Amino acid sequence: MTLEILTSDTLGPLRHGFFTRRGGASSGVFNGLNCGFGSSDQSEIVRINRARVAESLGVAPEALITVHQTHSADVVTVTSHDQAFPEADGLVTNQPGLVLGVLTADCQPVLFSDPEAGVIGAAHAGWRGALDGVLDATVDAMVALGATRGAIRAVIGPSISQRAYEVGPEFLETFVAEDPDNTRFFANGEGDRYQFDLPSYGLHRLRAAGVGEAEWIRHCTYSDAARFYSYRRSVHAGEADYGRLISAIRL
């Protein structure tokens, strides 16, 4: 099966992709294009999957750069494929030929570009990272490399949607403590539960950071098991582990 790669005109003309799980070599609960070494999938199979991603973007496997993600607001500036990478959740570069990638399974994968300045970025933004400012920090790091804030384009890839994201009252309280207006990202659910709109919150943070264009491509990871991995769906199904989707962009 060939790879399925979702793209956005907003990021054009730069090569990029929000890769679905289709077209990979993994099997079992990881069936498809699992690109996460942090999973219990076979490492060699994950390498094969990542090599397919790199090839589709026209680079060698070692040019596909990812980091150990920790739901932080930390961002690393990538200068070459052989540098040591610390734990981080955002990456930026102005080096042609490098591919920046992030791994997700419900969290937001966000790809950034300022094609005129020749600067790109990628961020893994779950609720914790988004609340703590990883999207803002990624924009700041791009500006430090020469990007113009208003010229930056940002696209949120497949993420868990509001109707699938049930949270408790303490979750709401965490967001309200940060900003009372954050109640607008929550809808009432069953009993004392709420439904959180992660992509809308991500768009809010991107626009507040001053990017020129921001959009969500409107695919829900939880609701489409044939195309996407989902941490929350795997928990509800009682599965032992789950695959990781990759989203990537190159100059």
How far apart are the C-alpha atoms of 99 and 14, rounded to whole Å? 11
With cut-offs at 50, 70 and 90, classify the pLDDT of residue 86. Answer: confident
Ordered structural domains, the chain, with CATH: 5-161+197-250 (3.60.140.10)
Q: Are 215 and 10 in contact (CB under 8 A)?
A: yes
**Res. 82 pLDDT band, cuts 50 70 90:** confident
CA–CA distance, 6 with 124 (Å, rounded to integer): 17
pLDDT at 136: 98
The whole-number pLDDT of residue 84 equals 85
Rg (CA), the chain: 17
**pLDDT of 83:** 86
